[in-house]
């Protein structure tokens, strides 16, 4: 899976607040996808269809474990 990057993130601001979200290259054009905003400590995840609904923040180690499991 590859992601397309958004605008550069401001240093010291959590990615979910900086507005830098990445959408998977696997997403279709109907918006059926999740978006992620990773930084060194965590990854924020939100529904691309309803970004104002909020997001989940997942610790970097847990995100790495999840994505490794999904790729296996």
Closest CA to 47 of 30, 31, 61, 25: 31
pLDDT for 47 equals: 87
Closest CA to 49 of 33, 65, 25, 60: 33
Higher pLDDT, 19 or 39: 39
The pTM score is 0.65
Residue 19 binned pLDDT confidence (cut-offs 50, 70, 90):
low
Dihedral pair phi/psi, residue 13, rounded to 5°: -110, 125
Residue 17 binned pLDDT confidence (cut-offs 50, 70, 90):
low
């Amino acid at each position: 899976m590859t992601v397309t990057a958004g605008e550069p993130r401001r240093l010291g601001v959590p990615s979910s607040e900086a507005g830098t979200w990445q959408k998977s290259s696997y997403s279709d054009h109907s918006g059926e996808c999740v978006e992620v905003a990773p930084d060194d400590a965590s990854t924020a995840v939100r529904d691309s269809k309803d970004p104002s609904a909020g997001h989940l923040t997942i610790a970097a180690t847990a995100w790495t474990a999840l994505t490794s499991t999904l790729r296996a």
